[in-house]
Amino acid sequence: MSHNSSPQIVTTTKGEALTGTIRVPGDKSISHRSLMFGALAVGQTKIEGLLESEDVLATANAMNAVGASCHKHEDGHWTVDGVGLGSLLEPEHPIDFGNAGTGARLCMGIFASHPIAVTMVGDASLSRRPMGRVLDPLREMGTQVIARRGDRLPASIRGSETPLPLTYRVPMASAQVKSAVLLAGLNTPGTTTVIEPVATRDHTEKMLLGFGAELSVEVNAAGERVITLQGQPQLKPQSVTVPGDPSSAAFPIVAALIVPGSNVVVEGILLNEQRIGLITTLLEMGADITIENERESGGEKIGDIHVRHSNLKGVTVPAERAPSMIDEYPVLAIAAAFAQGDTTMLGLEELRVKESDRLAAVARGLEANNIPCIEGKDTLTVTGGATGIGGGTVETHLDHRIAMSFLVLGLAADKPVTVDDASPIATSFPSFLPLLKELGGTVRFQGENA
Ligand code: S3P
């Protein structure tokens, strides 16, 4: 899980059109939350379609370490025998969250209102990421924290026996911060309120309601989302079917758009409004994308996304759209390299604190492949249509989405594109490279015969 072993150098090369009907793994956000909420319920939660990636498996281990029992069955479904809200056990050893920001931050929220001491560690990428954004409100609720590296992992937290409810206005557009405070509020007597000036993905709210929490969401006169949670409910186990992850689907979608002649369907994708900013943007760029077979599953809209190769044009992506496509900017930058004219992306400050500084990592990767771009403090402009692109080796900085984005670039660039380490792809999309090959992509591991 730590990716300390030898790096996996992978190259993709321009080749045939991509064709086929595929499925991508289950949504990462929903997978993490299914395991966590299942662990906090009394009884057995059943999960179909769980994303079995390193990040999510780290969450399963974390829940097992505090007394729940997450278990995979022969037919592929998972069950979680919940330990019940308020009854988490103190783990015997430090918990390793690997590369997973969502796992670590949401679990901090859960542990914060349980009287247990937990030491949390992560890989080099996670150990660089800011945790103060979550630890600060949790301290206000009474959690004790020892984090000697300036509120970064490794950190030890001791949850409060008598946690205090909080009203908290989230200072940055972050579903993880919102969720951590709400999850701490679950085992806190009284009312916890989170005010969200900018709406972010709402899986925590929707799923907590499904598990039986008392929660309401209103929009106040200033247009802010106000989420009110009554503490100490008895959570009831659920049957969860995890839809396909739109953030993973983004890679084959952009690949199909930029490889001439391609025609690809990605089935069963979550179409939650807070997650489909990339589709909106690609449509504005002139992409031939249709949503087929739209249906509802577990309170969410899902559908099949049909994509054909398209002539794209550059657009300006407004800052307000950032929360609904926050994980998709790296691959949008690849689409932008094939569009006529400039694509300018605004409001990207949160990209600086992802698995890598994604704004810098994308800009360096584009430059290494002769794609003109301008990196601003919180903006990126990519000039499309350059010739002779590709041929570079991209530093992925333990960031799965940087690796996948540039491997998509190689499928359509004039020269092959290499990533210095594809192993972090296993954190979110372990079947990515086999799927690219299945669609007709040319993928080569270092040491493999050409
Ligand atoms: C996530 C929220 C987002 C996103 C991450 C998953 C979640 O992070 O980037 O991949 O499941 O809540 P932020 O909340 O920090 O923006």
Over the stretch 404-422, which tens digit does the pLDDT of each residue have? 999 999 999 999 999 999 9
- Note if 327 is an active site residue: yes
For the chain, the average pLDDT equals 97
Using alpha carbons, list the distances in angstroms from residue 202 to 97, 162, 198, 206, 350: 23, 28, 12, 6, 18
Q: Token pair for residue 404? A: 């996948």
- What average pLDDT score do residues 279-298 get? 97
Q: How confident is the model at residue 423 (pLDDT cuts 50, 70, 90)?
A: very high
Q: Percent of the chain beyond pLDDT 90?
A: 97
For the Cβ of 29 lying below 6 angstroms from any atom of ligand 1, the answer is yes
Q: Token pair for residue 57? A: 């498996």
Q: Is the pLDDT of residue 252 over 60?
A: yes
Residues making up the annotated binding site are 28-29, 33, 101, 129, 174, 176, 327, 354, 358, 401
User: Would you state the pLDDT for residue 4?
Assistant: 53
- What average pLDDT score do residues 304-308 get? 98
What does the angle CA 157 – CA 57 – CA 229 come to, to the nearest 5 degrees? Answer: 55
User: Would you state the pLDDT for residue 3?
Assistant: 55
User: Would you state the pLDDT for residue 447?
Assistant: 84
Residues making up the annotated binding site for 3-phosphoshikimate are 28-29, 33, 174, 176, 327, 354
User: Would you state the pLDDT for residue 1?
Assistant: 47
Q: Whose CA is nearest to atom 10 of ligand 1?
A: 327
Q: How confident is the model at residue 450 (pLDDT cuts 50, 70, 90)?
A: low
Ligand 1 centroid–CA 174 distance in Å is: 6
Show the domains of the chain with their CATH numbers: 2-26+243-445 (3.65.10.10), 28-238 (3.65.10.10)
Q: What is the pLDDT of residues 77-134, one digit of tens each?
A: 999 999 999 999 999 999 999 999 999 999 999 999 999 999 999 999 999 999 999 9
Ligand 1 centroid–CA 214 distance in Å is: 23
Ligand 1 centroid–CA 100 distance in Å is: 10
**3-state SS string for the chain:** CCCCCCCCCEEEECCCCCEEEEECCECHHHHHHHHHHHHHCEEEEEEECCCCCHHHHHHHHHHHHCCCEEEECCCCCEEEEEECCCCCCCCCCCEECCCCHHHHHHHHHHHHCCCCEEEEECCCCHHHCCCHHHHHHHHHCCCEEECCCCCCCCEEEECCCCCCCCEEECCCCCHHHHHHHHHHHHCCCCEEEEEECCCCCCHHHHHHHHCCCEEEEEECCCCCEEEEEECCCCCCCCEEECCECHHHHHHHHHHHHHCCCCEEEEEEEECCHHHCHHHHHHHHCCCEEEEEEEEEECCEEEEEEEEECCCEECCEECHHHHHHHCCCHHHHHHHHHCEECEEEECCCHHHHHCCCCHHHHHHHHHHHCCCCEEECCCCEEEECCCCCCECCEECCCCCHHHHHHHHHHHCCCCECEEECCCHHHHHCCCCHHHHHHHHCCEEEECCCCC
Q: Percent of the chain beyond pLDDT 70?
A: 99
Q: Token pair for residue 228? A: 């009110």
User: Would you state the pLDDT for residue 239?
Assistant: 98
Q: Token pair for residue 252? A: 């084959």
Tokens 């990428």: give the residue. Answer: 125
Contact 406, 394 (CB under 8 A): yes
Ligand 1 centroid–CA 207 distance in Å is: 16
Contact 239, 297 (CB under 8 A): no
Q: Which atom of ligand 1 is nearest to the CA of 326?
A: 9
* Residue 16 CB neighbours (<10 A): 14
Cis omega (within 30 of 0) for bond into 154: yes
What does the angle CA 159 – CA 164 – CA 165 come to, to the nearest 5 degrees? Answer: 120
User: Would you state the pLDDT for residue 90?
Assistant: 98
For the Cβ of 55 lying below 6 angstroms from any atom of ligand 1, the answer is no
User: Would you state the pLDDT for residue 449?
Assistant: 64
- Please tell me which residue in 55, 202, 327, 421 is annotated as part of the active site: 327
Q: What is the pLDDT of residues 13-32, one digit of tens each?
A: 999 999 999 999 999 999 99
340: nearest Cα among 383, 309, 379: 383
Question: Residue 440: what residue type?
Answer: G
Residue 433 phi/psi, 5-degree rounding, is: -70, -45
Q: How confident is the model at residue 298 (pLDDT cuts 50, 70, 90)?
A: confident
User: Would you state the pLDDT for residue 150?
Assistant: 93
For the Cβ of 34 lying below 6 angstroms from any atom of ligand 1, the answer is no
Q: Is the pLDDT of residue 148 over 90?
A: no
Q: What is the pLDDT of residues 307-323, one digit of tens each?
A: 999 999 999 999 999 99
- What average pLDDT score do residues 158-169 get? 98
Sign of CA dihedral 18, 19, 20, 26: positive
Residues making up the annotated binding site for phosphoenolpyruvate are 28, 101, 129, 176, 358, 401
Q: Whose CA is nearest to atom 13 of ligand 1?
A: 174
Task: Tell me the C-alpha distance between 353 and 381, whole Å.
Answer: 19
Q: What is the pLDDT of residues 195-240, one digit of tens each?
A: 999 999 999 999 999 999 999 999 999 999 999 999 999 999 999 9
Ligand 1 centroid–CA 433 distance in Å is: 24
User: Would you state the pLDDT for residue 55?
Assistant: 98
Tokens 């890598």: give the residue. Answer: 356
Testing ligand 1's pocket by substitution, the residue of 135, 176, 401 carrying the most ligand atoms inside 8 A of its CB is: 176
For the Cβ of 327 lying below 6 angstroms from any atom of ligand 1, the answer is yes
Q: What is the Rg, in whole angstroms, of the alpha carbon atoms belonging to the chain?
A: 21
- What average pLDDT score do residues 292-308 get? 96
